[in-house]
C-alpha cells in the first residue's frame, strides 16, 4: 500500500518560481522553547513570492484552545486575502521542513484545495543550498478561495470520547515520549501529563530526517512498532493539533486514507478534568 508523493524538491521550486497559479506559503511556527520567531524570520528572508500563513491568527476566534480550525468562511477570507485560490498549485514550507508545514498542508486539503505540496528540506534546507531569498514584501492580488470542507477528516471531543470508550479507531499521538508518558510537563499551564487510554506513541520527530519524510518502509515500521494497525482507522493527535499533521502526512504517504486529525488534541483532552488520562507506568 503506497500513497501519493506530496513533496516538491528545491530544484523543482527554483525552476518554477514565478509560475502563474503557483502559491508559495511560509507556514513556519515554533514552540517558545525553540527560540525562533517565525514572522521575524519571514520578514528577514523568504522564498520569492511566498506569503506568510500565521497559524496563531488563522484560527477559530471564539475558541480558547490554540490553533483551533477556523470555519470554512474564515479560512477562505484569510487565504483569499493572501492571494491563494483552491485550484492553485500550493507549496507549503516551514523552517526545519516537517514541523508546522504539514498542519497547513492538511488545512488546505480539508478546505478544498486539491494540489497541495510540501517543500523538501524546508527553508533551512533552501538557504543551506544557497537558493534565492528576499526580504521584499510579496505583492498580493486578493483572490477567491472556494471551499469544499471535508468535516469527516476532523475529530472533535465527542468523537474522541467515543473512540477512547469503544476502540472504534486507533489514536496515534505525535508528542515526544516523555510527554506522552507524563514524565515531562506539558508546555501549556493547566494541562495534565500523560495520554489517552489505548493511544499509541508515534513521535512526529521520528518520522523525518533533515526536513524530509523517512522512506515508506521506515514509516510503516514506526507505526507498526508503536502498535498501530495500518489496516484500521487512525486518529492523529499531538499537543495542539500542529505536529499531528506530520503523522497524517505519513499515513497518507503510505496510502492510509481512513484517518482523522483530533483538532483539540492534548491541550483540550488533558486540559479537562472529565477525560481519562494514563500517565507514568500505568497500563494503557
What are φ and ψ of residue 234, in 5° steps?
-135, 140
Q: 239-270 burial by CB neighbour count: b if 16+ within 10 A, else e?
A: bbbbbbbbbbbbbbbbebeebbbbbbbbbbbb
What pLDDT is stored for residue 214 in this prediction?
97
What pLDDT is stored for residue 280 in this prediction?
73
Q: Which CATH superfamily is domain 7-149 in?
A: Rhodanese-like domain (3.40.250.10)
What pLDDT is stored for residue 36 in this prediction?
93
State how far the Cα of 253 lies from the Cα of 156, in Å rounded to an integer.
Answer: 24
What pLDDT is stored for residue 33 in this prediction?
84
Contact present, 184 and 270 (Cβ < 8 Å): no
What pLDDT is stored for residue 235 in this prediction?
98
Output the nine-digit C-alpha cell for 190. Answer: 493547566
Length of the chain: 284
Q: Which own/partner pairs from 273-279 qualify as long-range (CB within 8 Å, at least 24 positions apart)?
A: 275/161, 275/164, 275/196, 276/164, 276/196, 276/197, 277/182, 277/192, 277/193, 277/194, 277/195, 277/196, 278/182, 278/194, 278/195, 278/196, 278/197, 278/199, 279/181, 279/182, 279/192, 279/193, 279/194, 279/195
pLDDT in tens, the chain (284 residues): 567 899 999 999 999 999 999 999 999 999 888 899 999 999 999 999 999 999 999 999 999 999 999 999 999 999 999 999 999 999 999 999 999 999 999 999 999 999 999 999 999 999 999 999 999 999 999 999 999 999 999 999 999 999 999 999 999 999 999 999 999 999 999 999 999 999 999 999 999 998 899 999 999 999 999 999 999 999 999 999 999 999 999 999 999 999 999 999 999 999 999 999 998 755 45
Distance in angstroms between the alpha carbons of the first and the last residue of the chain: 29
CATH of domain 152-270: 3.40.250.10
Q: What positions carry a catalytic annotation?
A: 238
- Kindly report, as residue ranges, where domains of CATH 3.40.250.10 are found in the chain: 7-149, 152-270
Amino acid at each position: 500500500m503506497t500513497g501519493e508523493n506530496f513533496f516538491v524538491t528545491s530544484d523543482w521550486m527554483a525552476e518554477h518560481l514565478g509560475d502563474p497559479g503557483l502559491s508559495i506559503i511560509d507556514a513556519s511556527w515554533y514552540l517558545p522553547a525553540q527560540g525562533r520567531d517565525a514572522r521575524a524570520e519571514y520578514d528577514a528572508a523568504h522564498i520569492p513570492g511566498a506569503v506568510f500563513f500565521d497559524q496563531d491568527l488563522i484560527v477559530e476566534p471564539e475558541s480558547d484552545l490554540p490553533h483551533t480550525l477556523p470555519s470554512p468562511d474564515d479560512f477562505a477570507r484569510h487565504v483569499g486575502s493572501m492571494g491563494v485560490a483552491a485550484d492553485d498549485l500550493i507549496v507549503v514550507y516551514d523552517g526545519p521542513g516537517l514541523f508546522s508545514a504539514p498542519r497547513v498542508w492538511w488545512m488546505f486539503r480539508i478546505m478544498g484545495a486539491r494540489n497541495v505540496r510540501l517543500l523538501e528540506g524546508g527553508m533551512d534546507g533552501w538557504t543551506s543550498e544557497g537558493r534565492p531569498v528576499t526580504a521584499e514584501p510579496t505583492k498580493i492580488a486578493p483572490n477567491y478561495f472556494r471551499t469544499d470542507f471535508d468535516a469527516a477528516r476532523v475529530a472533535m471531543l465527542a468523537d474522541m470520547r467515543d473512540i477512547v470508550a469503544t476502540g472504534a479507531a486507533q489514536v496515534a499521538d505525535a508528542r515526544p515520549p516523555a510527554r506522552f508518558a507524563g514524565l515531562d510537563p506539558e508546555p501549556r499551564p493547566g494541562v495534565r501529563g500523560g495520554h489517552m487510554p489505548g493511544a499509541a506513541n508515534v513521535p512526529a520527530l521520528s518520522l523525518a530526517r533533515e526536513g524530509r519524510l523517512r522512506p515508506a518502509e521506515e514509516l510503516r515500521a514506526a507505526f507498526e512498532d508503536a502498535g498501530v494497525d495500518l489496516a484500521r482507522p487512525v486518529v492523529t493527535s499531538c499537543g495542539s493539533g500542529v505536529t499531528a499533521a506530520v503523522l497524517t502526512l505519513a499515513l497518507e504517504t503510505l496510502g492510509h486514507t481512513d484517518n482523522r486529525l483530533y483538532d483539540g488534541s492534548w491541550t483540550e483532552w488533558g486540559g479537562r478534568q472529565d477525560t481519562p488520562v494514563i500517565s507514568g507506568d500505568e497500563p494503557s
